[in-house]
Structure 1
């Protein structure tokens, strides 16, 4: 029997690479036992990346979700791991040291075993402190090599980074092929060299399937000593996500490797349940383009998970550019024309900004510079005219050292703008922040939570956490979900038919008198604004729905009819209504 290869199910990244949101706590708790039943996973990626943030955006508590999810997996002996963006931790911009250190204590207490710690620039200064903090908190620190293909990203470059991360405390290493553009032979040789020098360090490979190289890459790294491979399951495998465990297991088994068997009955249950989650609500936020592979990604090196947002951005810029071209009497550009132009411009920009690995957030910055260049070139203004602080921050070194050399044109432009380059250690530029967030928690009377996990969420995602606590996040999310459902329905039927369908099982809540509408008379606190309820709010028969103040001063209570779920609101707080006006619709509960 050949070398033993283990599999890690990257269920979190399957969703993040496909769309916007993650399954809820109740859904994860339902599917976790099925992952165990499949019998082939040594690890499951449970959280990190955007997981915590999008939970808050959906009005859910990520702490409760992570604790419940990891507990089930732990009881079966499956290790759990999270994705950690180094200096940016679990968001898209730098995080103070004290907040980052707290993150590892919180996540370890919540049941997360391993943190996959990457830096978008492969700057060891952004990685080393976090490796230490994770280890001190009791987690297994997994260092990461962000793989890309450029003249500066050589095998020697990556071997040096591997040595630095191991010396700084990394107990494992991940080859993170985030765009799937790592060449199989290159990855195989890199794996061989690292294993040869560090035979006891566990190596894990993470490769997206977008450009089509990942299966060959998996075979090459396995042949050269890789220990663990990240895999996905249907219906979210392939496309721009990850290879499916069935195909990977079959390939390796045929090649003589010792791989675990898959309980196919359980696989089909997990597949069906994931599809159920998609059909229930998550599918409304999945970009269908992410189901397709594209060899075009090899040229630009952009991660497949960016394609959806990139195409949306491209559409807006294309409309503006075509308006300019029409005024000049020039032919309009098709979407394909624009796509090739963008890929070519990324290829132009990337070396000039120092070949940053095209991973979050630097892939976005590089793409945005290229996109803005297309617009300003069409306007006759030249390149590098429209760049925000984030883009300049990458160029100036505020997020770390770029692997290559910044071009002279950008150096001159920075000088003209009075901007200064820095080689300071990025994490030293940020003051500690936890005391300020403790003060805010105390002033609001908010509990710090078990193991300070609520304090951590506020400090990591301030805006999203405040909206979660106020209920505004849930309100916004349910409104977005309803809008997505309406848009999907509206694409198939007329507006009149859509309205009729939406209201078919709903009771109209009408104003009993002429007057002024009040949903409530104050918010949850003295400073909280009074706002309308969120779409999806449940009412029981006889519950107070709202109030109408009649012209003579009487406040009339409006009941919630037979109860049910709020599906539409037609009036805002303080609106003037007439007797008989429809205020809202409440959908009755299903009757047998």
Structure 2
């Protein structure tokens, strides 16, 4: 058994999971030299919600963040998370936009792109897989792990085999809600090792308190790479702590080769960052607690906080337990989508509406209808005809790959943003988040010309941090 490789998530998922993605590039750069020398397999540094957060809250150009990290981490592989045909947004984009985004991600410094689809529909991953390989990136195709009557070990093994045939160079088990139990992980990894030839990478969290055990059993079954987060932003809704796993494996056949003393220097630094995030109200002790609701209701940590927020806004905080009980029912009605962006938001919001109105599907969101009509892709299992009839009536259902219905968009986008775009990267920023991009470009232009940026305050989405 070769040494286990570690991907460190402190620069992306750790602070996304625990602190609303509020770590700034200025807090990352001073420690990059030490991060670069530890001996990690890779650093997850971009993608996920970082693109949105840079524009919305931090007044940063996400592309410039990537370029700075690439320069500061010359010896490290940089990895990102990509939502397949959704890229880093919340809808499907045309194939030409997906292709250009993958091209520029690699060009600006990304080595490995982890590609997933919320419904595990390989059709929604195909273009990103092909484009990443075409432009010289490494494809890590992810299976979004969940549990249901259809999501068996056989289901995930067959999906992994299909993704390898599509061009995956690494297979990731993406356990976003910490639902993968240790002995199931052992079985799944063992079966995958028999059926696929590429390396296996496990991504889990510690929401339900089982992440460390899940990592260990997966490693014993032959998992090649695991995700961890340095302890100041590790555990809880984040990944299991890096230091704990490195210490556990030291001196064994799985020894990571990483020095605990070197990790401690990083820990000391990131403790100060975590203190700042906590002082500014972005890091709560709540995210560090073990939450068994994750196992009972399959609700990821981020989705749980969204549900609490929605109920609070409607003066219905006392209905949380009812909503948590409704979530699995809605999920079953919709064909058992895994609860990950954007399906987690869709299922959660519909569960809130069902409980608050006192009648199931009395009010139905357009996103819930879209999921049943096939706008997001093929559902894991066909919903019951009665549910389809109740929610969408006789509306036409999409059976093709949803992006096949989208005409090429790049040329139109270039024209729409010509006044402000200074690069192809700007065009893609506008494609993903038009309402955030325009105010950002205005502020950038004003700053370059020495104009008082506050003239753009009204349409600025940036909040003080």
Please, what TM-score do these two structures have when normalized by structure 1? 0.73
Match for residue 4 of structure 1? 3
Deviation at 1:21, TM superposition (A): 3.1
- Is the contact between residue 352 and residue 405 of structure 1 (CA under 8 Å) also seen in structure 2? no
After superposition, give the CA deviation of every residue in 1:240-283 in whole Å (9 maximum; x if it has no partner). 1111011112233366423223242x433322332333444574
- Is the contact between residue 22 and residue 282 of structure 2 (CA under 8 Å) also seen in structure 1? no
Deviation at 1:105, TM superposition (A): 0.8
Instruction: Determine which of 317, 320, 341 is the counterpart of 1:339.
Output: 320
Match for residue 48 of structure 1? 47
Match for residue 462 of structure 1? 434
Cα–Cα, structure 1 residues 535 and 172, in superposed 2: closer, same or farther, change >3 Å?
closer
Q: Matched residue of 1:204: which SS?
A: strand
- Is the contact between residue 307 and residue 352 of structure 2 (CA under 8 Å) also seen in structure 1? no
1 CA distance for matches of 2:460 and 2:368?
A: 37
Larger Rg: 1
Instruction: Determine which of 322, 334, 340 is the counterpart of 1:353.
Output: 334
1 CA distance for matches of 2:201 and 2:308?
A: 31
> How many residue pairs were aligned?
459
2 CA distance for matches of 1:168 and 1:72?
A: 33
* 2:82 is the alignment partner of 1:80: no
1 CA distance for matches of 2:99 and 2:117?
A: 16
After superposition, give the CA deviation of every residue in 1:143-196 in whole Å (9 maximum; x if it has no partner). 111101111001111111111111111111100000001122222212112211
Deviation at 1:301, TM superposition (A): 0.7
1 CA distance for matches of 2:462 and 2:17?
A: 27
* 2:72 is the alignment partner of 1:100: no
Q: Matched residue of 1:17: which SS?
A: helix
Match for residue 309 of structure 1? 306
Match for residue 65 of structure 1? 65
- Is the contact between residue 131 and residue 168 of structure 1 (CA under 8 Å) also seen in structure 2? yes
Structure with bigger RCO (C-alpha 8 Å, 6+ apart): 2
Cα–Cα, structure 1 residues 415 and 291, in superposed 2: closer, same or farther, change >3 Å?
closer
After superposition, give the CA deviation of every residue in 1:420-439 in whole Å (9 maximum; x if it has no partner). 22212111122221111211
Match for residue 432 of structure 1? 408
Deviation at 1:25, TM superposition (A): 2.4
Match for residue 273 of structure 1? 269
2 CA distance for matches of 1:464 and 1:536?
A: 9
- Is the contact between residue 467 and residue 473 of structure 1 (CA under 8 Å) also seen in structure 2? no
Cα–Cα, structure 1 residues 298 and 311, in superposed 2: closer, same or farther, change >3 Å?
same
Match for residue 413 of structure 1? 390
Q: Matched residue of 2:19: which SS?
A: coil
Deviation at 1:384, TM superposition (A): 1.0
Match for residue 25 of structure 1? 25
Instruction: Determine which of 344, 355, 360 is the counterpart of 1:383.
Output: 360
Instruction: Determine which of 241, 244, 248 is the counterpart of 2:241.
Output: 244
Match for residue 563 of structure 1? none
2 CA distance for matches of 1:221 and 1:437?
A: 44
After superposition, give the CA deviation of every residue in 1:292-340 in whole Å (9 maximum; x if it has no partner). 22011101111123232222123234x25xxxxxxxxxxxxxx5x6332
2 CA distance for matches of 1:90 and 1:159?
A: 26
Q: Matched residue of 1:285: which SS?
A: coil
Structure 1 stretches lacking a partner, 5+ long = 321-334, 476-519, 538-566, 568-592
Deviation at 1:5, TM superposition (A): 0.3
After superposition, give the CA deviation of every residue in 1:118-165 in whole Å (9 maximum; x if it has no partner). 000000110122110110011001111110111100111111111111
Match for residue 165 of structure 1? 163
- Is the contact between residue 523 and residue 531 of structure 1 (CA under 8 Å) also seen in structure 2? no
Deviation at 1:474, TM superposition (A): 11
The two structures, once aligned, show a CA RMSD in angstroms of: 2.8
1 CA distance for matches of 2:223 and 2:51?
A: 30
1 CA distance for matches of 2:457 and 2:199?
A: 53
Deviation at 1:86, TM superposition (A): 0.7
Cα–Cα, structure 1 residues 244 and 40, in superposed 2: closer, same or farther, change >3 Å?
farther
* 2:447 is the alignment partner of 1:471: no
Structure 2 stretches lacking a partner, 5+ long = none
Cα–Cα, structure 1 residues 415 and 313, in superposed 2: closer, same or farther, change >3 Å?
closer
Cα–Cα, structure 1 residues 43 and 523, in superposed 2: closer, same or farther, change >3 Å?
closer
Q: How does 1:487-498 map to 2 (within 5 A)?
A: none
Greater share of residues in strand: 1
Greater share of residues in helix: 2
